[in-house]
Amino acid sequence: MSALERGKIYLNDVEASIADAGRQLVVGDVIRVWLDRPGSSKRHPRTGLVDGVDIVHEDDELVVVNKPAGTLTVPLERRPDALSVLGQLEDRFRSHGRQRVFPVHRIDQNTSGLVVFTKHVASQRVLKEQFKRRDPTRVYWAIVYGTPSPAEGTWRDVLVWDEKALIQKQTHPRDPRGQEALSRYTVLEGFEQASLIEVTLHTGRRNQIRIQARLRGHTLVGEDRYIYGPDSLRPIEFGRQALHARRLSIRHPIDGRVLDFEAPLPTDFLELLTRLRRRT
């Protein structure tokens, strides 16, 4: 039972849980046991789809997840029944005796891509300080209407969060509530009505890329909040904002080594690119 609780038993290449203890084996089942290395009780990192969560990296301190669009990063009080990555991770670890997982940062529900969680509050604190200092490299891919000009440049704004409307708004530089929003963009590919751009965040304001693109007349394809003008200006059908957290670089909270992660484009994003390329 102890080996099951510690995640050492694999049945047909899937980690077995306590619920599998009484399972009757059949011909063809393959059981593998992971044994501790001499002098160590650490488990090997696992990647790929684990208990419904796309794990990009896992070690004794961190879990990096490729979040699908439509799933919250953390639960919201106003939407207690909505699926969240934090909830999925806590359900998974609860079977191994761990009660808590700690979020480091968030991305929007309908944005896909990389998010980081820690297994200990001390590591969460270290990583949050990194984000506060703007040390991590955070790179997003987005598909926007039109073509930003010049082909690469900097977006700098002062934003204020509207608590009632739950959106970012541009404000005057001298507004005491205002916060600087700074990002660097590059046009990667142009289409008939839209462009694929890469955006590197230097600050991490809520909805930052969505509002900064909108302020320059380049609303994200699929955007339903930061928009302007009639729907006829946004003829490309897509079920969410076309935004993906593509790459992330952080320092490990324990030994300080640089960790670089990349999340492949999800199927819906790839299909949208294919449609736009065919039209062009």
Write the CA distances from 87 to 75, 92, 100, 225, 237, integer angstroms.
Answer: 7, 9, 10, 26, 31
Q: What is the mean pLDDT of residues 275-280?
A: 92
Neighbours of 80 (CB within 10 A): 8
Q: Greatest CA separation found in the chain?
A: 72
**pTM for the complete prediction?**
0.82
Tell me the three state secondary structure of residue 2: helix
Average pLDDT, the chain: 88
Closest CA to 157 of 145, 175, 141: 175
- What pLDDT digit, counting tens, does each position of 122-181 carry? 999 999 999 999 999 999 999 999 999 999 999 999 999 999 999 999 999 999 999 999
66 close to 60: Cβ distance less than 8 angstroms: no
Q: How many CB atoms lie within 10 A of CB 187?
A: 17
Contact 226, 178 (CB under 8 A): no
Of 54, 108, 157, 268, the catalytic one is 108
User: Within a 13 Å sphere around the CA of 248, how many CA atoms are in the beta-carbon half?
Assistant: 25
Q: Summarize pLDDT for 36-57 with one digit per residue, the tens.
A: 433 334 444 557 777 789 999 9
Check residue 46 and give its pLDDT. 58
Has residue 279 got a pLDDT over 80?
A: yes
The verdict on whether 108 is a catalytic residue reads: yes
List residues bridging with 190 in a β-sheet.
Answer: 195
DSSP state of 140: E
| Domains of the chain listed by start with CATH number | 1-41 (no CATH), 139-244+274-279 (3.30.2350.10)
Token pair recorded at residue 224: 């339903």
Q: Please tell me the distance from the alpha carbon of residue 154 to that of residue 144, in angstroms, as a whole number.
A: 16
pLDDT computed for residue 37 by the predictor: 35
Return d(Cα 216, Cα 199) in angstroms, integer: 14
Q: pLDDT digits over 94-120, tens only?
A: 877 777 899 999 999 999 999 999 999
Cα(53)–Cα(66) distance, integer angstroms? 8
